[in-house]
Amino acid sequence: MPVIDVAKFDLERLTRMNFGEVIRLLEHVKCEVEEDLGDRLKLEVTHDRPDHFSAEGLARTLKGVAGVEVGLPKIRLSASSIRLEASHIEERPYISMAVVRGVRLDDEAVRQLIQLQEKLHETYGRGRRKIAIGYYDVSKIKPPIRYVRISQDDEYTPLGFDKPIKVKEMYEATEQGRKYSHLINRERPPALVDSLDQIMVVIPVLGSECCKITDRSRDVLIDVTGTDPNAVTSALSILIYSLLERSETREVEVVQGGLTYVHRYVTIRTDEREVGSLLGVDITREDFVKYIAMARFGYQEGTVVVPPYRPNVLSWVDVAEEVAVMMGYNQFPREVPKIQSAGKRHRVEILTQEARKILLSMGFMEMNNYILADEAVEEICKPARVANPMSELYSVVRCSIITQLIATAALVKRREIKLFEIGDVVRGGKTRRVAALLISRDGVTLTDGLSAVKALCHRLGLNCHFAEMSTAWALPGRVAEIKGDVEGYVAETSPDLLVKFKYGMPTVVAELYIG
């Protein structure tokens, strides 16, 4: 869970409540006090609430629970006079910008904005690979702003420096450069440059001293760049609403150009009966509307309106969870379950653990592969394909573990090797638990595989016997079907199959379906 740092006086000021009430309400919204440092608090917040990664977002939620401010937060949107001219940057193709006017900042406010930025970078930004964020003082910028590539020999003054240095020197001279410059083309990095040719930031590495925000900043420009348009838009919404908690005007200007920010409310159809049925309580229409408003949502005749800074609310079930939080979990009636039973391990899990112990004692080495595999498994069976695979290595859902074991044996390159894996496959439209074995050495035969399977079945207390069968990828007459308490097969693999994996050692494999 993310841990954030907030000043007690800042929470009191933002929420307009005394600290005792703040602490009580923090527990109400599932935020735990990890450490009390006197004038500051370290809070553990849930990962699904990125709007809680700073004091501003927490304050907005707490004001709703306390009834200080309820319903959708106020916001005034207009088009900005600042223009963005965005080039296509292959590694970070999406950029969106907005300006929040009339903010009142101090040292603590700046600290909170930077904390929110870094927490979003670490979590939703996947260490700045997916999104990167920047803040800039509008009064120090001369628009239009260009999103372009620059040269590593260009100079600018990085944050924390008092004189210009070359971009390539920044890569090695700063922690951010060493940590993030590998994410971009180092020779021609993407950057924001204003009409005075000031380099505002090298994206996603490090900003510039030329236009950084301070406690004197009143109008703040936010930019979010990234590889996913939805992630960019969601992050910008969280940042906008966070700054609005510090704004006197609550005015937001949308910068035209690039991925133009669209302020979009999400509407979800549900009502008090549906939510009450899921929660197991009776909720009146009046109370339902009250809880929705406390959650800082809107409600219009059977439709809940969710603000853009809540990307975690996807369906009416999420709305029901918000209602439960606003009601307070302690308000729900305690009931003894109608069916009392003790939990116990499933038979398949017991067999899995016992089979693992037995095979290890028989000298087999255990492997653990992903259930997603490459197309090589088609040599054994017909797998289900992934509609939009991210990699050729994970393009199908495996229907057998055999090819993964052969691929591992080919990498190890030992004269003798015994491998096994116990895991799930999808075969015949069903998920099955499989114990897969591989024995590879000079002179290995089907008899070696049958002996290993017999020993495994005997020690598991299972009745197993064998019958003849054939398969295209095994040597003719060297395949046996496993029958009895479990099913499966044992086979000597054909040289043709082994050649496809660049493996030349005789190999016997087996698969037992134990669940």
> Would you give per-residue pLDDT tens digits along the chain (515 residues)?
899 999 999 999 999 999 889 999 998 888 999 999 889 999 999 999 999 999 999 999 999 999 999 999 999 999 999 999 999 999 999 999 999 999 999 999 999 999 999 999 999 999 999 999 999 999 999 999 999 999 999 999 999 999 999 999 999 999 999 999 999 999 999 999 999 999 999 999 999 999 999 999 999 999 999 999 999 999 999 999 999 999 999 999 999 999 999 999 999 999 999 999 999 999 999 999 999 999 999 999 899 999 999 999 999 999 999 999 999 988 888 887 777 777 888 999 999 999 999 999 999 999 999 999 999 999 999 999 998 887 888 899 999 999 999 999 999 878 899 999 999 999 888 999 999 999 999 999 999 999 999 999 999 999 999 999 999 999 999 999 999 999 999 999 999 999 999 998 999 999 999 98
Q: How far is 323 from 62, CA to CA, in rounded Å? A: 14
Task: Output the pTM of the full model.
Answer: 0.72
Q: How far is 306 from 295, CA to CA, in rounded Å? A: 9
| Token pair 């017999």: residue | 454
Q: Looking at the domain that runs over 266-331, which CATH code has it been given? A: 3.30.56.10
Do 348 and 423 form a contact (C-beta atoms < 8 A)? no
Measured at the CA of 90, the angle between CA 86 and CA 92, to 5 degrees, comes to 70
**CA neighbours within 13 Å on the CB side: how many for 85?**
9
Strand blocks (E) in 205-333: 206-207, 220-226, 247-256, 266-269, 298-300, 303-306
Burial 415-454 (b: 16+ CB within 10 A, else e): eebbbbbbbebbbeeeebbbbbbbbbeeebebebbbebbe
Q: What is the pairing mode between strands 474-484 and 464-468?
A: antiparallel
Beta bridge partners, 306, equal 266
Q: How far is 485 from 461, CA to CA, in rounded Å? A: 9
Q: What is the pLDDT of residue 344?
A: 85
Beta bridge partners, 298, equal 305
Do 188 and 55 form a contact (C-beta atoms < 8 A)? no
Which region holds residue 328: left if phi is over 0, alpha if psi is between -120 and 50, else beta?
left
Q: What is the pLDDT of residue 428?
A: 86
Beta bridge partners, 156, equal 165
Coil, strand or helix at 420: strand
Q: Looking at the domain that runs over 72-256, which CATH code has it been given? A: 3.50.40.10
DSSP state of 392: G
| Token pair 């930004």: residue | 125
Smallest CA-to-CA distance from 254 within 275, 240, 273, 238 is with 240
Measured at the CA of 409, the angle between CA 429 and CA 456, to 5 degrees, comes to 65
Q: Which CATH class is domain 347-513?
A: alpha beta
Q: What is the pLDDT of residue 365?
A: 95
**CA neighbours within 13 Å on the CB side: how many for 72?**
16
Q: How far is 163 from 153, CA to CA, in rounded Å? A: 15
Phi, psi dihedral angles at 423 (to 5 degrees): -165, -175
Smallest CA-to-CA distance from 427 within 472, 397, 402 is with 397
Residue 479's H or E segment, with its range, is strand 474-484
Q: What is the pLDDT of residue 329?
A: 87
Measured at the CA of 465, the angle between CA 464 and CA 470, to 5 degrees, comes to 120
Domains 1-68 and 266-331 share a fold: yes
Beta bridge partners, 506, equal none
Phi, psi dihedral angles at 394 (to 5 degrees): -130, 55
Q: How far is 98 from 109, CA to CA, in rounded Å? A: 19
What are 456's two structure tokens? 């495994």
Beta carbons within 10 angstroms of residue 485's beta carbon = 14
Task: Parse the chain into domains and list their residue ranges.
Answer: 1-68, 72-256, 266-331, 347-513
Beta carbons within 10 angstroms of residue 188's beta carbon = 14
Do 294 and 64 form a contact (C-beta atoms < 8 A)? yes
- Residues with Cβ < 8 Å from 19, sequence gap 6 or more? 8, 11, 12
Rounded to the nearest angstrom, the gap between the alpha carbon of residue 486 and the centroid of all alpha carbons in its chain is: 38
Q: Looking at the domain that runs over 1-68, which CATH code has it been given? A: 3.30.56.10
Rg (C-alpha) for the chain, rounded Å, is: 30
Q: How many residues does the chain have?
A: 515
| Inter-CA distances, 447 with 408, 466, 513, Å | 23, 12, 20
